[in-house]
Structure 1
Amino acid sequence: MSSAKSRPLGLRAKLTAWSSLVLGASLAAGFAWVHHGLRSVLEARDDAFLYRKAAELSAVVRDYTPEGSEALEAEIRREVLAYQSEGLVVVLREPGRVFVAPETEQSRGLARRLEGIGSGATLETLALPASGRYRVLRAGLAGDASLDLGLSLAETESTLAQFDRRVAFGGLFFLGLSVVGGAFLSRQALRPVAQSIQTAKRLEPSNLSERLPRTGAGDELDELAGTINELLDRLAAYHGQIIRFTADASHELRSPLGAMRAAVEVALGQPREPGEYREVLASLGEQCERLTALVNGLLLLARADAGEMPLRREPVDLSALASDVAEMYEPLAEERGVRFRSECGSPVPVLGDSGRLRQLVTNLVDNAIKFTEPGGSVTLRVGGAGDQARLVVEDTGVGIAPDHLPHVFERFYQADSARSLGGSGLGLSICRWIVEAHGGSVEATSRSGSGSAFVVSLPRAAAAPEKNLVLRNGHA
């Protein structure tokens, strides 16, 4: 016995089978309903005929005297002969005699079957072994006489059988036609699915440019194709980010490592004075600090992307925190000849992680001082606007060109001026993550050569819940 599993039915075959099954069941139910209705109509017609003939023959029997029995029998025979094709049988019972018309074996068999059955105006259906089925009406007469009328159901059953055959053949024909039509229609309806499957098979990590075809019909399949195409767009963008992130990270790691290797090779090339070795070690220390900052930034963003970066939510005075950062950076600004001004007045409470918020302010202030030339100025302001806390860092530095401005928050993105001053290119990306993790937003405005302004908006303490939680993908 083969162990291979049979291939399951495809969607097209299932749709065809189910549609055919539903149509077949509908045809069968309709056929049964029409058959029952037709039988009821034919039986009602036969019953009305029997009631009418019974009334007519009862009147005939009442009009004849006992001496006119022969004339009565002749009248009954003429009446039966007129309806011979319908299979009419009349049985007249009087004391001492039984008259049966027509005088056939089937009629006499019906008369014998009716013996012993009580009389009265009742309708019955009797089955005779050799004569078939009869519809019988028993009508009582005056005295001990009775009048029984029987009508053969052969014509009715023949009509029903002929109807059943025609409906059965017609139903089978239309069912077969529906199977063929259903297979064709399901194939046409599922053609976009087949095309989508072929397109999906061509998708590879190195080539995500293929998109599922859309028919423009606006149906569910078209909507599904559009949704999958949007997903592919996001995957392609994410894949591109990964590629750029890997390339940029490799480049950023290679630069300090290359500098460290070159310094070591130069130092070991020939004997040197202790002071020269100290200079080499100091250079190595600076490169190690740069590598440490880069790796820490990469680790932070990677954990943030994985939803594994816990943030505490506690009351924080953003104004006081910014004042502390300003006090820390005043000596550096003075050393570089940059005027540093802090405008942090009344308390501005927010709910957040004080460590990450301090990192946010530190990164923005550090960037502002770094890119401001001597004689320029940096301003740090904190204030409130409705239910939002606003933190603004402005400088009169080199500014950001319009074509670079939309990308300043991207990872490893650095304008030419930024590359000349060093840095990992992760600082502003970390700032955006911190702001968005706290439910806020950050915007950058700048004109090349006229300085820049970074505006951070965060929910004030009254608009946020006081609880500790772990942020997932940057959202609480």
Structure 2
Amino acid sequence: MTALGKLFRATAFRLALAILLLSAVGAGIVLTVIDWEVISVVDREISQTIDAEAKGLIDAFNTGGLDTLRALIEARKREPNASLYLLTNPIGEPLAGNVQQIPAEVLSRPGFLPIEYRANERGGRNRQALVGVYVLPYGLRLLIGHDLGDRGRIGAVMTRALALSLIFFAVLGALGALFVARRVLQRIDDINTSAHGIMAGDLTRRLPVSGSGDELDRLAEGLNEMLGRIAELMEGLREVSDNIAHDLRTPLTRLRNHAEAALAFGGDAASYRLALEKTIEESDALIKIFNALLLIARAEAGGDVGPPQLVDVGEAARSVAELYEPIAEEEGVALIVRVQGPLTVRGNRELIGQAIANLVDNSLKYGASNRGSADAEAKPDVVIAAERIGGSIVLTIADRGPGIAPADRARVLDRFVRLEGSRSRPGSGLGLSLAAAVARMHGGSVELEDNEPGLRVRLTLPAADPPALPAAPADLVMNDRNTR
């Protein structure tokens, strides 16, 4: 298709032409109304002039009689641009005036009306006039009129104005349509070019934005945000693939080695049982990793996780604390829960509970690392606190472990990231990333802060209007041997 053909078939061009047509119709209606109003004004002025002149002639007739009226009409008809005059007897014969021929029925209809007449000039043609017919005593009829040539000239002027306006609108509209269509087509072609580049695999490209803030800019900005999110997901998928290939190689290798050792060296039933138990243990660890990956993928993809529910974050924190109480006791850590009032959010109960459990599990793993401090009687603690701040529910989990350096705090929220100090401990590096994915899914966030010493994790979720619930205990201390 040629460039001109694309231009004529463009929606913008057709829209501009439609606007042109509507504007032309509107201009025609306006000029027609103006023409009608102008003609009405002219007719009223003529009628008033005729009425005033007729009053003067009738007064002269009443004062001086028929001869005075005839003499006055004969004098006035000789003046330049004289009005039309006709005085007739009761049977319609002309007595005075400058009108040669009028329709017979005109004199029988007193009042104002437009007529065709012929002047007394030789070779005169029929012309239009607005006349007033007056009945005088003795059956006489007096006709006074004004030629409508001026009104015709005004109508011709208005007609020419209408025609010129329509031509002007047509030319201006066509030029405007071509300009708008060409500009829009250029921008759409630029967007098309960028889109083809993106489809070719260059996810770093973005749709061009002119900066005008129009609908095409808003569309391009929305699509650019979508492309940015797609690029993030694709990068995350690539990283997950790389991390799975790297981090799962070791447990899979151990799994194979256990089975191979059992087959190679043989032995009694106890040896085979031990090999199978190790195989099952490694398999369970792999299943946990894949389950965590599935949860993260479901949370980040925003998939269907069921209808949102009202979840009390404080109650979820207490439930997780009760679940981890035995582990905290084994680690020698005081697990403290502080909850203030009903803290309700709207979301998925299972995912929110899993996120809290992951954060508590991480804190218990690393929160016991200061047991070798100078104060041997000092007992490290993990504090789970939940409160409402403005329109958000903030859950804080603080430990007294080694903490995380500021440079690594953003990185540890990614999948399979394990810092050097944690590689000797069991885990897959998915706990924090799952919590961050669940927070994002619910419109919240996860932030890591310094607890001086230790790490403080803040899980922030949008608050929902909570139902009326009884006030929760202000301070609940678990796994504290000194209080039991």
The alignment's TM-score, normalised by the length of structure 2, stands at 0.73
Give the Cα separation in 2 of the matches to 1:434 and 1:102. 102
Note closer, same or farther for the CA distance 1:391–1:42 as it changes in structure 2 (3 Å cut).
closer
Mapped contact 1:80–1:90 kept (Cα < 8 A):
no
Note closer, same or farther for the CA distance 1:38–1:193 as it changes in structure 2 (3 Å cut).
same
Query: Which residue is equivalent to 1:113?
Result: 105
Instruction: State how many pairs are aligned.
Output: 440
TM-superposed CA distance for 1:296, in Å, is 1.9
Mapped contact 2:341–2:387 kept (Cα < 8 A):
no
Query: Which residue is equivalent to 1:452?
Result: 455
Mapped contact 1:91–1:147 kept (Cα < 8 A):
yes
Give the Cα separation in 1 of the matches to 2:187 and 2:75. 76
Give the Cα separation in 1 of the matches to 2:160 and 2:183. 33
Secondary structure, aligned partner of 2:227? helix
Query: Which residue is equivalent to 2:13?
Result: 13
2:209 counterpart of 1:214: yes
2:254 counterpart of 1:259: yes
RMSD, aligned CA: 4.4
Query: Which residue is equivalent to 2:289?
Result: 294
Listed one character per residue, the Cα deviations across residues 268-319 of structure 1 (whole Å, up to 9, x for unaligned) are 4x45323654454343222201111112212333444414167784783855
Give the Cα separation in 2 of the matches to 1:287 and 1:416. 22
Query: Which residue is equivalent to 1:4?
Result: none
TM-superposed CA distance for 1:378, in Å, is 4.2
After TM superposition, the structure 1 = structure 2 runs for residues 191-206 of structure 1, keeping only pairs within 5 Å, are 191-204=186-199, 206=201
Query: Which residue is equivalent to 2:113?
Result: 124
TM-superposed CA distance for 1:20, in Å, is 0.4
After TM superposition, the structure 1 = structure 2 runs for residues 282-361 of structure 1, keeping only pairs within 5 Å, are 282-304=277-299, 305-308=302-305, 313=311, 316=315, 318-319=317-318, 322-331=321-330, 333=331, 339-343=332-336
Mapped contact 1:402–1:447 kept (Cα < 8 A):
no
Mapped contact 2:398–2:451 kept (Cα < 8 A):
no
Secondary structure, aligned partner of 1:213? coil
2:422 counterpart of 1:427: no
2:51 counterpart of 1:51: yes
Mapped contact 1:137–1:150 kept (Cα < 8 A):
yes
Matched letter for residue 401 of structure 1? A
2:241 counterpart of 1:241: no
Mapped contact 2:447–2:458 kept (Cα < 8 A):
yes
Mapped contact 2:112–2:131 kept (Cα < 8 A):
yes
Structure 2, unaligned runs of 5 or more = 1-6, 119-124, 373-378, 470-484
After TM superposition, the structure 1 = structure 2 runs for residues 126-165 of structure 1, keeping only pairs within 5 Å, are 126-127=115-116, 131-153=126-148, 155-156=149-150, 158-165=152-159
Give the Cα separation in 1 of the matches to 2:461 and 2:109. 100
Query: Which residue is equivalent to 2:181?
Result: 187
Mapped contact 1:363–1:427 kept (Cα < 8 A):
yes
Matched letter for residue 203 of structure 2? L
Query: Which residue is equivalent to 2:472?
Result: none
Matched letter for residue 126 of structure 2? S
Give the Cα separation in 1 of the matches to 2:114 and 2:280. 114
2:408 counterpart of 1:412: no
Matched letter for residue 102 of structure 1? N
TM-superposed CA distance for 1:80, in Å, is 2.2
Give the Cα separation in 2 of the matches to 1:355 and 1:18. 57
Note closer, same or farther for the CA distance 1:45–1:357 as it changes in structure 2 (3 Å cut).
closer
Give the Cα separation in 1 of the matches to 2:45 and 2:449. 94
Matched letter for residue 341 of structure 1? A
- Worse overlay, 402-411 or 49-58: 49-58
Give the Cα separation in 2 of the matches to 1:227 and 1:439. 19
Query: Which residue is equivalent to 1:76?
Result: 73
Structure 1, unaligned runs of 5 or more = 1-6, 334-338, 468-476
After TM superposition, the structure 1 = structure 2 runs for residues 64-103 of structure 1, keeping only pairs within 5 Å, are 64=64, 69=67, 73=70, 75-82=72-79, 88-93=84-89, 98-102=94-98
Give the Cα separation in 2 of the matches to 1:348 and 1:87. 99
Matched letter for residue 240 of structure 1? E
Query: Which residue is equivalent to 1:465?
Result: 467
- Worse overlay, 29-38 or 193-202: 193-202
Secondary structure, aligned partner of 2:26? helix
Note closer, same or farther for the CA distance 1:320–1:210 as it changes in structure 2 (3 Å cut).
closer
Note closer, same or farther for the CA distance 1:101–1:366 as it changes in structure 2 (3 Å cut).
closer
Mapped contact 2:13–2:178 kept (Cα < 8 A):
no
TM-superposed CA distance for 1:455, in Å, is 5.2
Note closer, same or farther for the CA distance 1:380–1:441 as it changes in structure 2 (3 Å cut).
farther
Mapped contact 1:133–1:152 kept (Cα < 8 A):
yes
TM-superposed CA distance for 1:28, in Å, is 0.4
Query: Which residue is equivalent to 1:400?
Result: 404
Give the Cα separation in 1 of the matches to 2:55 and 2:443. 95
TM-superposed CA distance for 1:27, in Å, is 1.4
Mapped contact 2:311–2:344 kept (Cα < 8 A):
yes
TM-superposed CA distance for 1:32, in Å, is 0.6
Matched letter for residue 286 of structure 1? E
TM-superposed CA distance for 1:440, in Å, is 7.9
- Worse overlay, 93-102 or 37-46: 93-102
Listed one character per residue, the Cα deviations across residues 175-198 of structure 1 (whole Å, up to 9, x for unaligned) are 222223321442376354553344
Give the Cα separation in 1 of the matches to 2:339 and 2:193. 64
Matched letter for residue 455 of structure 2? S
TM-superposed CA distance for 1:347, in Å, is 10
Mapped contact 1:439–1:458 kept (Cα < 8 A):
yes
Query: Which residue is equivalent to 2:481?
Result: none
